[in-house]
Amino acid sequence: MKNILIVGAGGQIGSELVPHLQKIYGNDHVVATDINCNSCVKLAENGPFEELDALNAERFVEIVKKYKIDTIFNLVALLSATGEKNPQLALKINMGALMNSLEISREYNCAVFTPSSIGAFGPSSPKDNTPQDTVMRPSTIYGVCKVTGEMLSDYYFQRFGVDARSVRFPGIISNVTLPGGGTTDYAVEIYYGAIQQKKFTCPLPQGTFLDMMYMPDALDACVQLMEADPSKLKHRNSFNVTAMSFEPSQIFEAIKKRIPEFAMEYNVDPIKKAIADSWPNYMDDSCAREEWGWNPKWNLETMTDDMLKVIGEKYAKGLLK
Ligand code: SER
C-alpha cells in the first residue's frame, strides 16, 4: 500500500482508518473521499480530501489517476436496519460503490478492500462457532449485498487477478463517529447513554448474542490483511474476524460495575431483533488467525474502561452535548 484511497471516509470506520493509515503510510499517501464534505472537515485538515459520490465512476477514476492510487478501501454502505427501510436504495448504493471499486481496481491495477459483515450470514447458517465456509443465505438486503460483494471480489481475483481481500466485521464499537442504522449500534450508543443520562433503552432483547470488536482491533485487521503475504492466503473474501461476543445484559453489567447508578430498560425494535436473530452468536475466526495472524487485543472489560474514559473526557471538555 503506497497511495491509498478511502471511499466513504466520513463514516464510522473511515473517520478512524484515515488517521490510522496516515500514521503508517504518511499523510500525503492517504486520500480521504466522501459524498458529504461536512462530515470530513477534520479529515481534510491533515491530508488530501476530495468530494466523491462513489456511484460517479468518472469522478472516481479522475481521483485514482490524480493521486496514482494503488489501494482502495471501499467503505460505502447503508447498514442493515436502514437498508430494510429502503432496500432499493441500499442495493443501488452498496452494489454501485462495490462495482465501481472493483472495475476501477481492475482497470488501474489497485488492491481493494470492501468490508463484509456478520450480516452476510443468515438464519440457516450455524449460529455457534459459525464456520469460515458455510451456508450463507442472508435475509436482509444488507446481507445480500455483502455476500454478493464477497463472491464478486473473489471472482475479480480469480478472473482478472485483482488483489481483492476482506473481512467479515462484527459490530464495531468506537468513540469518534457514531455508526448509523446498524443492528449492532446499541453497543456504541449504550456508552453515551450511560455517561450522559445514566440510563439506556435497549432495542434488542436480553439473550441476543452478537460478535463485536473495538475499533483499534478493526483498524489493525484492515492493515494486517492488506499487508499479508498473498501466498499464505487460502481464503480472500471474506475472513471471519471477531474479538468478543456478548448480549445486552452483559455489556450493561460491565458498565454498571463502573457507573453503579446506570439503569437499562428494554424496548425491543422488531426489525432489529429479527435481523440480530438471523446472525451468528459467535463466529469461528481461526482461518484469519492461521492465514494472516489475526489476534485481537481488546475484550469487553478493557474496551469498557477505554470507552467510558474517552467519551467521559469529551463530555467534560464540552466537545459533546
Ligand atoms: N454493524 C452492522 C450492522 O449492524 C453489521 O455489519 O448493520
Q: What is the pLDDT along the chain (321 residues), one digit of tens a residue?
A: 799 999 999 999 999 999 999 999 999 999 999 998 777 777 778 899 999 999 999 999 999 999 999 999 999 999 999 999 999 999 999 999 999 999 999 999 999 999 999 999 999 999 999 999 999 999 999 999 999 999 999 999 999 999 999 999 999 999 998 888 999 999 999 999 999 999 999 999 999 999 999 999 999 999 999 999 999 999 999 999 999 999 999 999 999 999 999 999 999 999 999 999 999 999 999 999 999 999 999 999 999 999 999 999 999 998 888
Nearest CA to ligand 1 atom 1: 171
Q: Are residues 11 and 118 in the same domain?
A: yes
Does residue 258 lie within any of the structural domains? yes
Residue with cell 477505554: 306
Kindly give the distance from the C-alpha atom of residue 62 to the centroid of ligand 1, in angstroms, as a whole number: 31
- Kindly state the cell numbers that stand for 148: 454478493
- 10 Å CB burial of residue 297 (0-12, 13-18, 19+) is exposed
Q: Are residues 103 and 250 in the same domain?
A: no
Determine the Cα angle at 119 with ends 117 and 124, to 5°.
130
Does residue 24 lie within any of the structural domains? yes
Up-side HSE of residue 35: CA atoms within 13 Å toward CB?
Answer: 12
Q: Are residues 202 and 67 in the same domain?
A: no
Residue with cell 476482506: 166
Fill in the DSSP letter of residue 234. Answer: S
At 302 the pLDDT is 98
Does residue 287 lie within any of the structural domains? no
CATH code assigned at 267:
3.90.25
Among 166, 188, 215, 183, residue whose Cα is nearest residue 279: 183
Number of domains in the chain: 2
Q: Is 79 left (phi over 0), alpha (psi -120 to 50) or beta?
A: beta
Kindly give the distance from the C-alpha atom of residue 118 to the centroid of ligand 1, in angstroms, as a whole number: 7
Q: Are residues 82 and 191 in the same domain?
A: no
At 85 the pLDDT is 95
Catalytic positions are 142
Among 64, 83, 82, 85, residue whose Cα is nearest residue 73: 64
Kindly give the distance from the C-alpha atom of residue 143 to the centroid of ligand 1, in angstroms, as a whole number: 9
At 95 the pLDDT is 98
- 10 Å CB burial of residue 23 (0-12, 13-18, 19+) is exposed
Ligand 1 atom showing the smallest separation from residue 146 Cα: 6
Determine contact, residues 200/38, Cβ cutoff 8 Å: no
Does residue 289 lie within any of the structural domains? no
At 37 the pLDDT is 77
Q: Are residues 17 and 91 in the same domain?
A: yes
Q: Are residues 303 and 154 in the same domain?
A: no
Kindly give the distance from the C-alpha atom of residue 184 to the centroid of ligand 1, in angstroms, as a whole number: 6
Kindly give the distance from the C-alpha atom of residue 47 to the centroid of ligand 1, in angstroms, as a whole number: 28
Does residue 290 lie within any of the structural domains? no
Does residue 86 lie within any of the structural domains? yes
Ligand 1 atom showing the smallest separation from residue 170 Cα: 6
Domain that holds residue 123: 4-170+214-240
Q: Are residues 30 and 177 in the same domain?
A: no
- Kindly state the cell numbers that stand for 111: 488492491
Does residue 321 lie within any of the structural domains? no
Q: Are residues 152 and 186 in the same domain?
A: no
Q: What kind and span of H or E run contains 211?
A: strand 210-214
Q: Are residues 182 and 270 in the same domain?
A: yes
Q: Are residues 162 and 198 in the same domain?
A: no
Nearest CA to ligand 1 atom 2: 182
- As for ligand 1, residues whose beta carbon falls within 6 Å of it are 79-80, 117-119, 142, 169, 171, 182-184
At 41 the pLDDT is 75
At 1 the pLDDT is 76
To test the pocket of ligand 1, the residue of 76, 82, 118 to mutate (highest count of ligand atoms within 8 Å of its CB) is 118
To test the pocket of ligand 1, the residue of 93, 185, 242 to mutate (highest count of ligand atoms within 8 Å of its CB) is 185
pTM, to two decimals = 0.96
Q: Are residues 310 and 230 in the same domain?
A: no
String of DSSP letters for 243-296: SEEE-HHHHHHHHHHHSTT-EEEE---HHHHHHHHTS-SEE--HHHHHHH----
Q: Is 123 left (phi over 0), alpha (psi -120 to 50) or beta?
A: alpha
Q: Are residues 74 and 189 in the same domain?
A: no
CATH code assigned at 9:
3.40.50.720
At 33 the pLDDT is 96
Ligand 1 atom showing the smallest separation from residue 169 Cα: 6
Among 97, 99, 119, 101, residue whose Cα is nearest residue 111: 101
Does residue 65 lie within any of the structural domains? yes
Determine contact, residues 227/163, Cβ cutoff 8 Å: no
Ligand 1 atom showing the smallest separation from residue 81 Cα: 7
